[in-house]
Structure 1
Amino acid sequence: MEKKKIEKGSVQETLLLPLYGRKRAMEMYPGNFNDLDCQRIYNEVEIDYNRKGIMEKIGAIMAATRQYDLASVCRSYLKDHPRACVVNLGCGLDTTFSQVDNGQARAYNLDFPDAIAVRNELLGERERETNIACDLNDLSWFDKIDFRPEDGIVFFASGVFYYFKTEQVKTLFAAMAEHFPGGKLVFDATKKKGLKNMLKTWLKDCDDNIGVYFSVDELSELKSWSSSFSSVIRKGYLTGYRPLDKRYGFVLNTVFKHLDKSCMCQIIEIRFK
């Protein structure tokens, strides 16, 4: 089968970067992560990546660990709400639902139209999955989710909210809590200082127009955004959901522990009343 050519700098390339990280993590640390979709997609596309060394290893571990964390939260929620909606905010080519699917839940994958077009081409719609092209800040997408309060709903966002203005995030979260009672939201975040580090490292080769804005320094401020939040908790991104793997090495594990302890890497879980 002829491979699909991915152009450098294209939308397709930006969507493939997180998958590349998870693919490399699985190759470097077999048995530690489970994302067979990323391997299949890379067998179907032709793209030249030349990312080696310590930064590639850090990026791969972080990309795969983030997916593991978010999947863990979704899986836990589905134990109590087996027929829940599982909503992937800013989905790109993420396939977390396939790792948590219990045969009863329903998935919704949301992203901008160009990203959904690529997703439809490389992944298509799967059983009990619906792809929705939208702007997350246009709350009309709420009505496209077949939400049933008795079944529940869990939202997750991977590497998404950094690019939103704080007021946009506040408006979105508060509206979600009102519209989806009993639901849960989980996402990754960093402190304000972490945004500067992102621009210097992971985003240094990106378009100058790309900015990062949203951060979480004080959890109390986030808690005050809505009276419809029943709980807001923070866990370590790299150590919050399972121990670090000794195969990463002493130096990297020391760095990862510091990132979590300093709240430079966080996973935030918000439960709606």
Structure 2
Amino acid sequence: MSLNLQSVQGTMLIPLWGRATASEKNPDILYDKEAIEIIAGCDFNFTEIAKTFGEYGGISYIVRARKVDDTIRAFIEKHPRASIVNIGAGLDTTFSRVDNGTINWYNLDLPDAIAFRKTLIADSPRNISIAKSFFDVSWFDDVIFNEDDGILFVAAGVFYYFQENQLKRIFQEMSLRFPGGELYFDAESKFALKISNRTVEKTGNKGAKMYFYVNNPKVFEDWSSKIKVLSCESYFKGIPVSKKWESGTRVMVRVVDLLKMMKFVYLRFERK
């Protein structure tokens, strides 16, 4: 099956490439065996993506995956039978790295993205795909939710593509339906978002414009009394800068954190 690269789904291949190439060189940050195997067996030409995103791009993808992995592992240590909903899953391979044998995992994405995903990554009894829009709240009924077991939603490189009013509405709906649930995602500042849009356009992709940014995470608490900000930390916090990286990569990592261009936001839907 072919994938339209002039679309949001077209960007699915970029983080897959990034995790495969960068994790081979930086296994101390993340080793994504499944991504490496998929890329090795994929006949798509990644030359243009590699040229555009380079070493820094790959590093940013494995750091994001590492932060998501760490958050999930900490959550399922407390809630070993939790449900994990991977919003805008694309070709994500997180389940293969974090599965504890008892969690229920859901890959939520648009029908064409899930159809493409299934050509490369098969579902299994506890790793299930849901072919629906994030904004189609009928997916709420497709996931197992038990308050005692907990539920964690993760979104990596997804919310950028949505308008603020869309996210506000769905976050409010989720806070009512999933009390005690938690949500972890990455975000950029307004300044960084402009740079990202220019970078994606360089790949020839004109159909994946990004809109949503976060300068101050406290805005989420204004959206609903049930939304609480647990943390907001700089993107590369806790990740050692390697001397083997190109000088440009080392500079970018420091600048991104210094200017608060990228961050991870962690929210909880309060039970009250």
Q: Which runs of 5+ in 1 are unaligned?
A: none
Q: Do structure 1's residue 95 and structure 2's residue 77 form an aligned pair?
A: no
Higher relative contact order (CA 8 A, sep 6+): 2
> Kindly tell me: are residues 197 and 181 of structure 1, through their superposed partners in 2, closer, same or farther at Cα, counting changes over 3 Å?
same
Q: Which runs of 5+ in 2 are unaligned?
A: none
Alignment of 1:149-160 (within 5 A): 149-160=147-158
Shift of residue 232, structure 1, vs aligned partner: 3.7
Percentage of identical aligned residues: 35
Instruction: Provide the secondary structure at the position in 1 that maps to 2:200.
Output: coil
Q: Distance in 2 between matches of 1:118 and 1:55?
A: 23
Structure 1 consecutive aligned stretches of length 4 or more whose deviation exceeds 6 Å: none
Q: Which residue of 2 aligns with 1:50?
A: 47
The answer to whether the 8 A contact 1:216-1:222 is kept is no
Q: Do structure 1's residue 266 and structure 2's residue 237 form an aligned pair?
A: no
Q: Which residue of 2 aligns with 1:27?
A: 24
Shift of residue 255, structure 1, vs aligned partner: 2.1
Counterpart residue type for residue 259 of structure 1 = V
Instruction: Provide the secondary structure at the position in 2 that maps to 1:201.
Output: helix
Deviations 1:145-174 (A, max 9, x none): 111111000110011000100001111112
Deviations 1:85-116 (A, max 9, x none): 01100000101122111111110000000010
Q: In the comparison of the two structures, how many residue pairs are matched?
A: 268
Q: Which residue of 2 aligns with 1:144?
A: 142
The answer to whether the 8 A contact 1:6-1:45 is kept is no
Q: Distance in 2 between matches of 1:214 and 1:226?
A: 18
Q: Distance in 2 between matches of 1:23 and 1:264?
A: 24
Instruction: Provide the secondary structure at the position in 2 that maps to 1:108.
Output: strand
Counterpart residue type for residue 82 of structure 2 = A
Aligned-residue Cα RMSD (Å) equals 2.1
- TM-score (normalizing by structure 2): 0.91
> Kindly tell me: are residues 131 and 44 of structure 1, through their superposed partners in 2, closer, same or farther at Cα, counting changes over 3 Å?
same
Q: Distance in 2 between matches of 1:213 and 1:32?
A: 29
- TM-score (normalizing by structure 1): 0.90
Q: Distance in 1 between matches of 2:68 and 2:108?
A: 16
Q: Do structure 1's residue 37 and structure 2's residue 31 form an aligned pair?
A: no
> Kindly tell me: are residues 112 and 70 of structure 1, through their superposed partners in 2, closer, same or farther at Cα, counting changes over 3 Å?
same
> Kindly tell me: are residues 124 and 195 of structure 1, through their superposed partners in 2, closer, same or farther at Cα, counting changes over 3 Å?
same
Instruction: Provide the secondary structure at the position in 1 that maps to 2:122.
Output: coil
Instruction: Provide the secondary structure at the position in 2 that maps to 1:202.
Output: helix
Q: Do structure 1's residue 9 and structure 2's residue 5 form an aligned pair?
A: yes
> Kindly tell me: are residues 269 and 206 of structure 1, through their superposed partners in 2, closer, same or farther at Cα, counting changes over 3 Å?
farther
